[in-house]
Structure 1
Amino acid sequence: MKLLPALLLVFLTISCSDPETVEPSRPDDAVLYFPPIDDRTWETTTPASLGWDESKLAELYSFLENNDTRAFILLKDGKIVSEKYWGKDLLERFDFDSNSQWYWASAGKSLTSVLTGIAQDKGLLSVDDATQDYLGVGWTSMPAGQESRISIRNQLSMNTGLDFTNGNLSCTDPACLNYKSDPATEWYYYNAPYTS
């Protein structure tokens, strides 16, 4: 009977040991493609050249179209493998294509938060930095001392303390961005300071 507690202790010790650290594989930077900044050309590759089952792509396209997707771009190592458009623009006037604009609404906030997290992880910024460090002094109409207390974290959390009662919730002009309360004391879904 004394063997059971000993075996249990050995089992727990083994199961609590650190797992082997496995480094994720990363594509060689030489194979990654980045399109030129100054024109609209973008290198492409084909599903066939990648050995992909094109019938599965056809199923995917059907699924996307049947679920009211407007645009789909599939990249491999930075190159476009597939680019498809369906349906009409937001006002149902024109066929949706690569030049169409789509209303992103709050999806931009998620993307901004992810990119900010990546930038912080790479040491390019801290969410505790003053917004003023990046937008410059005078991005609001508040005195510089008050303005400097608003951080990136406040921007991401929508608790900048800026006055949302100005009548135009989308105005990003400094004249529209006024003091209401100290940062991190009030939350309000107010796009203007977030999109500045």
Structure 2
Amino acid sequence: MTGKTFVTLVRHGETIWNRELRLQGSQDIPLSEVGLAQAEAVAKRLQHEPCDVVYSSHLSRAHRTAEMVAGSIGVEHQVCRDLMERSYGELEGWTREQILAKFPDFWGPGKEFSVAGLETFEELAERAKSAILEIVAKHAGGNVLIVSHGGTINAFLHSISDGVYGSGVNKLGNTSVSRVVFQEDGAWSVEMVGCTTHLLEE
């Protein structure tokens, strides 16, 4: 009997490509000056909350955000590559406008597109859920903080809530905080999605 496991999900801080509405996917784009300030703000928000460990993807925008949060809390930071953003193949680097001009209904679950190197939504959701379940199993009954990417977090939320939350429903801002709980019976509950109140305090 290990009890509930509490998971806090944080999207990385802003990058220049975020500002330009340019699709990043697996591209390793660093935090902008604004993104570093956002990471500092979310680290300050989370510094006194219970947390046993911080995980992040290896991409620098999430990795750097996680480093700042883990440093503020005083816990270990570990890397899990499966927390990375969706791979968009040849569309990476395109602007939102360019993508919508070619694929008007591109975003959201359940759609298929013929794009070289594109990871399907279902593949992303399965990857994200498997990675987070593995992390939860290692820290059962504890408090885990995960820094990842908008598409990845939303696909996970969609997966555990049967589409009530996540992709196609919620837009996650940079350094937004979401909270889920893994119950003892193996069910998930969603407690909060996309909160950015720490940015309003700046």
TM range (shorter): under 0.3
Give the TM-score normalised by the residue count of structure 2: 0.20
Higher relative contact order (CA 8 A, sep 6+): 2
